[in-house]
Structure 1
């Protein structure tokens, strides 16, 4: 999942600010607790010094003597607290003990032959201090939520020009040459990005224009001789002196010219942007038979048996010219590499299977069969193509959303699986009652 730039900026600022707020709150809490202890210690020290001095000046001010504690016990609060016997074993100084679930400070100091125990209860003060600390932490949480809201708002201001640039690029069609005006943006980095994009877009537009001119010229230069060949074949077909094998050769030339015309049209369509929508209901068996026709002589020479199990009533949704190119390339590969075997066509659950009994493809070559100009070594035949047939097939399948898979084992043949969506063909007058 990709997150937007605004989300990332907001997340970064939110996380950084919240981390700083938490660190600040914890620092303030730690510092306050340390100052609290210092304050309590200072209060106890001053109070003990004052009490001892007063008792020395006026012994009548001494608190009651506690025989169990072997000392004088006094308290600063109105509530009387009984010290446990374990306090007697404590050393001189200030100690924190828990009595009846309350934290009590006990200061112990020598007083003549006895000891002075003075009890300090700061629970009210400490409770108020903890309430202040809790309010501070709660305020930190509120500020954290406010930070998230502000971060998303500020991040929108920071990336607004990037988002606007993205919208302009999205709305800009590939064939348009009008550049994006960098004057609309005030960030230096974004202006550089706009200029770099304009340069790239201009070069792409020039390249597309050159390709359009090239394909148009090729189309014109191909169609002219193909039209001449077709016209000549039609005229020669009217000559009654041409019979037998000569007439069969003439029909092959005419079909080859037609196939070349369809190939040129299909390749030109592939160069256009919206050809993926040019689909129609196509009789699959008829396209297979038409694609087999140019290879009839080679099939007969190799002694191949053609098994076409595709029903005559099966129709698929496809571009007729593109499907013819795909089948012609697949048949060409199968015929060139298969001898004295069979070539089988069948259609099951939306998949067209083309299976031959050739030598198969090695495991190391199988992943590269769709690579441009790649040619796997074959011991079956000395003739080979230029290595672009399956590359063209793969490009066509990508254009029209057809899935293609090739499975093969050396010595066991090759099976090509082509995913073609089926279509229902409504026969005329099919629903009329018979008379």
Structure 2
């Protein structure tokens, strides 16, 4: 994952590095030019001076040796032994020499040598002052580099604050909208520049998003009203019919099935509306929902699916578990898990266990592959061997409901036998 830095930090660092690099490049170039020019001038001056001294001595042997530079010596091949030992074997040219003077102090000088007409001339050019000047120049350039770097840093701080002030203001206004719960136009508060363009684009996006939310809210309200009304009529009519004295047992059973289906449809509508609004709502009056009781009701509602199957279903409440959620939400989640277990188990047993802050649905069906366990909670994914006309949305709805209430839903194959275990761990 790439490291993310604030735009202001990147601006400051860019200015600081640019100032440092530019001043350092200038310092290196200044040192190079100075060294190059100095070396050319010194070499040229020394060579010209020593050649001129030899020419003058050759043309006027009776005149003393004269040099425009101080410290010059002239020996012949017979008297060269008088020269310092380090000079005696030097050929014509200019040499960079370091030694100690008579008082023992180190000295640095350029030595020009010329061998012509049996004469050997030496001219010394002391460059100690140039070395001192070079050191002073280096110190000055280092100081200039530091000064320009600090100046670039200060300019970067000032510019970043000035350039990013509108962006920070835009971000603050967006945070304020989240606090007050409604969006207000942003563009009038900003100049007609890039930030103003961004604010205008955000206003357009906010308007589209607000319109979409309003349409969704109206649709949810309409659906809630239009679906709940006929379901309420079905429930009340079924209740009245069940009170008839001449009701046969077969007809009573069918009315109970209608009642259960009506109740399940009402619970499903309520759960889906909660998901569409991303609204987490607990039971009324601060009450909690008993998981074992809801599981028992769901099991009874699912028994008609077991007809014609050599299948049994058991409920074991090892310890009471209560959750802060509506019974309708828990009922929708358990209906999908228990209904799937009954659907995929052709024979054997489905066991529902409640305890330790969780509920588990254990079946003896064909089971699932470990790599498919997480994939089954995706929309449109159905288990192997699924029949009927299902759309593969049941487990996806369970996952979304559990995420809304902070529960952990999972599915895994059984390790002791064929089948699968679906579980919800309540927070």
Q: Mapping of 1:258-297 within 5 angstroms?
A: 258-275=263-280, 281-297=288-304
Q: Mapping of 1:264-413 within 5 angstroms?
A: 264-275=269-280, 281-299=288-306, 301-318=308-325, 320-346=327-353, 352-361=359-368, 368-378=375-385, 382-408=387-413, 412-413=418-419
For 1:310 and 1:287, the matched residues in 2 are separated by 12
Relative distance call for 1:38 and 1:419 in structure 2 (3 A) is farther
1:60-88 Cα offsets, whole Å, 9 max, x none, are: 66737498993775xxxxxxxx552xx44
Relative distance call for 1:203 and 1:280 in structure 2 (3 A) is farther
More deviation, 262-271/236-245: 236-245
CA contact (8 A) 2:336 2:394 kept: yes
TM-score of the two chains, using structure 1 as the length reference: 0.80
Q: Following TM superposition, by how much is the alpha carbon of 1:253 offset from its aligned partner in structure 2, in angstroms?
A: 2.9
Is 1:93 the counterpart of 2:93? The answer is yes
Is 1:33 the counterpart of 2:35? The answer is yes
Relative distance call for 1:195 and 1:63 in structure 2 (3 A) is closer
Relative distance call for 1:277 and 1:121 in structure 2 (3 A) is farther
* Structure 2: stretches of 5+ with no match in the other structure: 67-71, 101-105
1:269-316 Cα offsets, whole Å, 9 max, x none, are: 222254278897443322322332321222354333334444342334
Match of 1:211 among 196, 216, 231: 216
Q: Following TM superposition, by how much is the alpha carbon of 1:223 offset from its aligned partner in structure 2, in angstroms?
A: 1.2
Q: Mapping of 1:1-400 within 5 angstroms?
A: 1-49=3-51, 51-52=53-54, 55=57, 57=60, 58-59=63-64, 63=73, 65=75, 70=80, 73=83, 82-84=84-86, 87-99=87-99, 103-173=108-178, 179-242=184-247, 244-275=249-280, 281-299=288-306, 301-318=308-325, 320-346=327-353, 352-361=359-368, 368-378=375-385, 382-400=387-405
For 1:319 and 1:29, the matched residues in 2 are separated by 81
For 1:241 and 1:105, the matched residues in 2 are separated by 132
More deviation, 322-331/305-314: 305-314
CA contact (8 A) 1:373 1:386 kept: yes
For 1:66 and 1:415, the matched residues in 2 are separated by 111
Relative distance call for 1:132 and 1:271 in structure 2 (3 A) is same
CA contact (8 A) 1:285 1:311 kept: no
RMSD: 3.5
For 1:253 and 1:169, the matched residues in 2 are separated by 50
For 1:295 and 1:354, the matched residues in 2 are separated by 14
Relative distance call for 1:32 and 1:20 in structure 2 (3 A) is same
Is 1:419 the counterpart of 2:421? The answer is no
Relative distance call for 1:302 and 1:144 in structure 2 (3 A) is farther
Q: Following TM superposition, by how much is the alpha carbon of 1:92 offset from its aligned partner in structure 2, in angstroms?
A: 1.2
TM-score of the two chains, using structure 2 as the length reference: 0.82
Q: Following TM superposition, by how much is the alpha carbon of 1:417 offset from its aligned partner in structure 2, in angstroms?
A: 4.0
For 2:121 and 2:112, the matched residues in 1 are separated by 8
* Structure 1: stretches of 5+ with no match in the other structure: 74-81, 422-435
Q: Following TM superposition, by how much is the alpha carbon of 1:332 offset from its aligned partner in structure 2, in angstroms?
A: 1.9
Relative distance call for 1:90 and 1:406 in structure 2 (3 A) is farther
Aligned residues: 409
CA contact (8 A) 2:111 2:124 kept: yes
For 2:198 and 2:255, the matched residues in 1 are separated by 61
